[in-house]
Structures are given as C-alpha cells and as structure tokens.
C-alpha cells in the first residue's frame, strides 16, 4: 500500500478524521523531508486516527511538525543542544504524531536515517537506549497503525507485543 491508498483508506473510516491539505511542514534549509511525508501532507493536513479507540493518535498538522527537542524538552534545553548540534542525533528529529497528551512519535530527517520513526516518550526522549525505533518509514508507521488498531485496543502497536527493531542510538543500517 502506498501513501495515497493509505490516506484513502483512512478517509473511509468513520473513526478517522483527516484535515484538508494546507501546506507542507516548514523546516530549515538543511533538512530534507521524506517523500512519503510530503505525499501525505499534499493529500491531507494531518488528522486524528481511531477516535473511538482507547488510545487515539493525532498526526500533527504541518505547522505543528517542529523540532522534537524544542517541543519535548523545552526551549532552554533545545537552545543548549543547538550549541552542540553535531553531538546528538535527536537534533534532526521532528514531532509528527501525538498521543496521551504528552507523548510523541518523532520522525528522523537526517540523510542517513531519513524517515525512521521513534517513540519519544517525554521522560526518555533523546536518551540512548530508550529511543525505540517503531518504524523504518512514515508509511510503515501509518500502515502498522492501520493494521493493528481496533476499538478494543488499549495500546498502540509498539507498546505491546512489538518485535524490536532497535534503538535510535544503536541501529546501523
């Protein structure tokens, strides 16, 4: 399934609310957006998925796709990390989805890891050994959500019976 087919499937579901397309995320010139994310935002402007489930998830609007460290760690910590940008891989991560009010899914925009999605739990975000890769691409992330989320689901796919891919700080390929 490609992004176009996936968006059509989500639009047909009564428990998914997709917004009209509005723009693409506005990022710095040094960042390349994965093609799948561009296609997604050309087709819709984000949305809330599985509103009837125990754990709905919001795919953020393009204007809300912001540096993960700024959103999750706060401005002071983000400014500190900016001084050492080369030292931490999380500087290329952006929030792309939100669940449980303070938990995020981040997407990696680094050229070598472009498109990888991570569970960025607010207490362990950017901590080596605690940043689980939950999908290797944005399409894989959305596809897995679609395949595994049901009305009776009390947990997102990577929070239960998940075959580990690796940690963001250790995975190399």
Q: What residues contact residue 165 under an 8 Å CB cut-off, 6+ apart?
A: 132, 133, 134, 135, 136, 171
d(CA 82, CA 88): 9
Domain annotation covers residue 140: yes
- Position 15 pLDDT exceeds 80: yes
**CATH number for the domain harbouring residue 112:** 3.40.1580.10
pLDDT (0 to 100) of residue 54: 79
Q: Which domain holds residue 150?
A: 3-159
> For residue 142, what is the enclosing H or E element?
helix 138-148
- Position 151 pLDDT exceeds 70: no
DSSP string, 38-90: HHHHHH---EEE-TTSSS-EEEPPGGG--BHIIIII-HHHHHHHHTTGGG-GG
Domain annotation covers residue 97: yes
pLDDT (0 to 100) of residue 91: 87
Q: What is the mean pLDDT of the chain?
A: 87
pLDDT (0 to 100) of residue 155: 58
- Position 157 pLDDT exceeds 80: no
Q: Is the pTM of this model over 0.85?
A: yes
Domain annotation covers residue 171: no
Residues 130, 124: contact at Cβ < 8 Å? yes
Number of domains in the chain: 1
Domain annotation covers residue 85: yes
State pLDDT tens for residues 45-77.
999 998 988 788 999 999 999 999 999 988 888
Q: Tokens for 96?
A: 């792309």
- Position 108 pLDDT exceeds 50: yes
Name the burial class of residue 37, with classes exposed (0-12), middle (13-18) and buried (19+) by CB atoms within 10 angstroms of its CB.
buried
Domain annotation covers residue 120: yes
pLDDT (0 to 100) of residue 173: 45
């Amino acid at each position: 399934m490609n992004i176009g087919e996936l968006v059509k499937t989500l639009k047909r579901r009564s428990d998914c609310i997709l917004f009209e397309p509005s723009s693409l995320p506005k990022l710095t010139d040094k960042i390349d957006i994965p093609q799948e994310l561009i296609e997604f935002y050309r087709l819709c402007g984000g949305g809330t998925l599985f509103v009837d489930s125990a754990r709905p998830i919001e795919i953020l609007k393009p204007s809300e796709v912001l540096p993960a460290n700024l959103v999750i760690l706060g401005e002071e910590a983000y400014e500190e990390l900016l001084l050492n940008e080369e030292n931490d891989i999380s500087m290329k991560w952006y929030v792309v989805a939100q669940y449980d009010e303070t938990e995020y899914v981040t997407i990696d925009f680094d050229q070598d890891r472009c498109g990888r999605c991570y569970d960025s739990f607010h207490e362990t975000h950017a901590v080596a050994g605690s940043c689980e890769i939950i999908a290797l691409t944005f399409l894989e992330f959305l596809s897995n959500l679609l395949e595994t989320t049901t009305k009776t689901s009390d947990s997102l796919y990577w929070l239960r019976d998940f075959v580990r891919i690796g940690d963001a700080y250790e995975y190399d390929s």
